[in-house]
Each structure stands twice: as C-alpha cells, then as structure tokens.
Structure 1
Amino acid sequence: MKKMDFAQNIVKMERDLYHFAYKLTSDYDSANDLVQDCILQALNNAEKFMYADNLKGWMYTIMRNIFISNYRRMMREMNIIDKTYTVFQQSLIEDEDSDRFELSYDIKQLYRVIYSVPDELRVPFQMYVAGFKYREIAEKLDLPIGTVKHRLFFIRKRLKDELKDILDVGR
C-alpha cells in the first residue's frame, strides 16, 4: 500500500477509531487524545503494516495497546503519588513540634469527618477523589449513576458544613 493511500485510509476510519476510543475511555477528551496517539503511531510504523485487508483491525490493536500502556503508567504514577502523599501527611500529623500545627490539626479534622460517614457514602467519595468518573464509580459499585451523584453531593455538603471553620479561616 502506498504511503499516501495508507494515510488516506486511516483518515477515513477516524470516526470509527473515535467511537472505539470512547468505549475504552468513557471520556471525550481522553478519546480524542487516544485517537491522535493511535494515528501518529500508525503513521510512524506504516512500513510494519503487512495486510491491506485488515487495516482497521491493526489500528484497533494499536489503540488498545496504547490505552493499556497509558492505564498501567497512570496506575504506577498514582501509587507513587499516594505513597509520597502518605509519608508527607504522616509527617505533618506526627510531628508535634512542627510549625504547621494548624495544618496537621485541619487534616486530622478532615479525616475525622470523612471517616464519620457511612461506608456507602465514603467509598464513592474516596473513589471520586482518586480520579474515578461518575460512570466508573457506578459500574464498580453496581449503583445507578444518579445514586452516585447524590451520595457525592451529600458528602460534599456534609464536609462543607462540618469544616466551615477551617474554610472560613482560609479567606
């Protein structure tokens, strides 16, 4: 297949690629990024494409592999960030001689409020803070999306009410 025909065929299937990317990511912006990465990688590796009949399958495989690689990278980064944050947080809370006593007190109060709510509210909130989207939370917890939104609204309201003293000090 000629280089120009190859590129034109890829451009023709962009809409199909976008639909597949959206199924993988459930997010419009992420799907656009995934399609762009896929097309770029396909164009950079055009000489490796062998079978003119199965360009769509080849493109879907590239996209799936990019998605998996990005997901694994994100999970590794989240683990590194979580470990770093935990060490930082513990040092603030455990260091009684710290100049940041108010901050460590605020964090303790924040955790007290978060852990005072029932698991059915706390778990979706923790997932949301960790970066999950409403739809992902609903699927993982086997709940309707409206229930997830309601629970997140309720815990945000509760946090705002119980932490209003902390929030007012920052103003």
Structure 2
Amino acid sequence: MTALEFSYALNQMSSSLKPFALKLTKDMEDANDLLQETMLKAYTNREKFADGTNLKAWLYTIMKNTFITNYQRIARRNTFIDTTDNLHYINSTDNIIQNKAYSDFAMEDMNHAIDELDEPYKVPFMMHFRGFKYHEIADRLRIPIGTVKNRIHIARKELKDKLKVYAPQSA
C-alpha cells in the first residue's frame, strides 16, 4: 500500500476511532489529542502494517497502548518516593484530609431536601433507594410502573437542583 493510499485509509478510519478515544479519555480535547497521536504513530509506522490485515484493529491497538502509556506517564509524574526509612510510595494528589463535619452537613442537607419532596415523589424514591425494584414499588403502591419511574425521575431531578451546591466543580 502506498503512503497516499495508507493516508486515505487512516482518514477513513478516524471517524470510527473518535468514540473509542472519547470512551478512554472521557474528555473531548484529550480524545482529539489521543486520536491525533494515534494517527501520527500509525502513519510513521506504516511499514509495520501488513497488507491484508485488519487496519481498524491495528489502529485500536495503537490507540489503547498510547492511552495506557500516557496514563502511566501521568501517574509516575504524580508519584514521588519518600526517602524515610519506610520507603513508601506516596501519591501526591491524595494529601487532602477531610473531617466528618463536611459529610455531616451534606447528610443533613440531603435529608432535609428529601423531607421537602412531595409525598407522591418521596415514597417511590425512598422505596427505590432502599432497594425495591420498580415493579415491586408499582405493586405495593398500586400504580403503573411508568408512573413509578416518572416519580423517581422527578424526585432525583428536584434533589439534584436542591443539592447542586455539592456537585463537583469542573476546573
């Protein structure tokens, strides 16, 4: 396969690789970077690709290995060695210590938000929270299963709105 044919085949495969890159990285910019790095590695190593084999599988393998290598590099960068007698490996990002007060406030706010739910939403939500299946809730409350799902959905949405102060902040 000529370089031009190989380049064309890579271009055709890029759209099917992007969802896999996004699944691995869980971030659009990182996925684009991973896709670009995969395509560059594939093109520079095109002589290693054997004609008649599965190009898509070859590219997926390159992408997966590139992701793993990058992840390991980041993990090594965030780890340092403690030179004390014990010689422990310490992950530098785990130095945050939280006391129980924050979780107590959060739990209190959650219980208050649940108590404020209207009864038709609170009862199915709490039953589901305690482990009941949708059909069990529908049988016990004598309402259709679709109504149960809808009420639980509405309860979750209201709780999410009331407790958005606890949502993780994106950087």
TM-score (norm 2): 0.52
When you count helix as a share of all residues, which structure comes out higher?
A: 1
Q: C-alpha distance in 2, partners of 1:120/1:56?
A: 51
Partner of 1:78: 78
User: Bigger CA drift: 145-154 or 49-58?
Assistant: 145-154
Equivalent residue letter for 2:50: M
SS at match of 1:13: helix
CA-to-aligned-CA distance 1:6-25 (integer Å, 9 cap, x gap): 01000111111111111111
For residues 46 and 79 of structure 1, the distance between their equivalents in structure 2, rounded to whole angstroms, comes to 35
1:49–1:153 distance in 2 versus 1, CA, 3 Å? same
Q: For residues 4 and 39 of structure 1, what CA distance do their matches in structure 2 show?
A: 14
Unaligned 5+ residue runs, structure 2? Answer: 81-89, 107-155
Shift of 1:3: 1.2
Equivalence for 1:13 = 13
Cα distance change, pair 153–3 in 1 and its aligned pair in 2 (3 A): same
Compute the displacement of 1:51 (Å).
Answer: 3.3
8 Å CA contact 2:21–2:31 kept in 1: the answer is yes
> CA 1:77/1:57 → structure 2, altered by over 3 Å: closer, same or farther?
same
Deviation (angstroms), 1:27: 1.1
**Cα deviation 1:132-156 (Å, max 9, x = unaligned):** xxxxxxxxxxxxx988998773388
CA RMSD of aligned residues (A): 3.7
- Deviation per residue, 1:48-71 (Å, 9 max, x gap): 111334111100000000001111
Q: What is the TM-score of this pair, normalised by structure 1? A: 0.52
Which one-letter code corresponds to 1:37 in the other structure? E
Q: Which one has a bigger Cα radius of gyration?
A: 2
Q: After TM superposition, where is structure 1 displaced by more than 6 Å over at least 4 residues in a row?
A: 145-152
Q: Percent identity?
A: 36
1:55 and 1:154 map into 2 onto residues whose CA distance is 45
CA distance in 2, matches of 1:6, 1:75: 34
Which residue number in structure 2 is paired with residue 116 of structure 1? 101
